[in-house]
Amino acid sequence: MKSDEPAPIPPPVVEGPQNQSERHAAEPNNAVLVTQPDSPAPSVLGTAIAAIKKFVYTSVVGLTVAVITGLVAGVVTVGTSTAVPLFATSPTPISEAVSRLFGMLGFVGKKKREDGWGIVFDSETRRPVSGASVSIINQEGHVVDTSLSDSHGRYGFLPNPGTYTLVISKKDYELETSDRQDILYGDLYTGQAIEVKENEIIKINISLKSTTIDWQDFARSKITSYTSVFSIVKRDAFLILFYAGFVINAGIAYLFPTPLNIAFFVAYLGMVVYYIFFKKRAYGLVTSSKTRQPVPFAMLSVYDATDSQKRVAFSVSDVLGRYFILVENGEYLLKASGNFLGGAHFEKTERIYIKDGIVRSDVAV
């Protein structure tokens, strides 16, 4: 009697080593074994690029931060160049900054007329003194008005006609009364009564003498610090970051030419071209022709090229020998005079041509 159950499925035959050897033995003796050719060994450049790509993939955050940091540093560098030092050039940087802030915000009493003002300046350096309080006193002894000198030392009043005196106060300064004339600023206020007519502005210049600062020692210490290797590296830190970021970004743009990386590279390249070929320094330098050191507090006067007695504008170099003067375009005579820190006097006159409204020629004396 036949069973309705299905026939069992035989187990699969696994070809063992003996079966394989028998099968190979049965193959013709003239069979040719075909093998794939070996891949060529990678070149040194290819290996390096592969390693760099792997590193970039594993360090993308760090490199992105480096690129962005370099780009930002470049913007700061191109924007400021070396016009702003990374350390104070004033013995009282905090009070100086507060005074300038108040001046910029307009907290200086009445708004100054654009056609004239007086200037408060240091009697030794002839640099403007900001944040000095200037009050006008009438004949009855009452304070009529008070003004703070701005960042350029300027102040001014437009009072009613009458007779007035001035009271000036500034921490660590006192009124200089020994001279009524200055070679740069002309007539000075020394405590005398001032007669004011109708629509007349009080704009006499005021000389203040420091009671605490030795400007000669201060200038020497600042110049020594400014020309040290550490200060040079510190001033150029932004520039170093910028070029480091440029090199990194150039490599990334070459290895991974994505639109974002290319955009970063183009931005970098444009800034490099601008900085090298078009960027102009915002100031001129007065230096010693012998030592190449900055000359602080040099007097620089601009005269009409056709009349050497007609002064157009003037300025005084800061503690690091920097200056600039705003004038109309044209031909002028630039006269530099003053004393070196050692006390020796100097004078130099040269012809200049102004095309962008700023006198910023370097002067070696």
Give per-residue pLDDT as tens, 149-199: 999 999 999 999 999 999 999 999 999 999 999 989 999 999 999 999 998
Q: Report the chain's mean pLDDT, rounded to a whole number.
A: 79
Name the band, by pLDDT with cuts 50, 70 and 90, for residue 55: low
- Give percent of the chain above pLDDT 90: 47
What is the per-residue pLDDT for 326? 93
What is the per-residue pLDDT for 58? 58
Name the band, by pLDDT with cuts 50, 70 and 90, for residue 9: low
Name the band, by pLDDT with cuts 50, 70 and 90, for residue 358: very high
What is the per-residue pLDDT for 276? 82
> Which residue from 189, 243, 213 is spatially nearest to 74, judged by alpha carbons?
243
pLDDT digits (tens, 9 = 90+) for 84-118: 343 445 555 545 554 444 444 443 334 444 457 89
More confident residue, 276 or 306: 306
Checking if the pLDDT of 81 tops 50, the result is no
What is the per-residue pLDDT for 360? 94
What is the per-residue pLDDT for 32? 47
Mean pLDDT, to the nearest integer, of 5-17?
Answer: 53
Name the band, by pLDDT with cuts 50, 70 and 90, for residue 228: confident
Min mean pLDDT across 206-215, 234-243, 324-333 is at 234-243
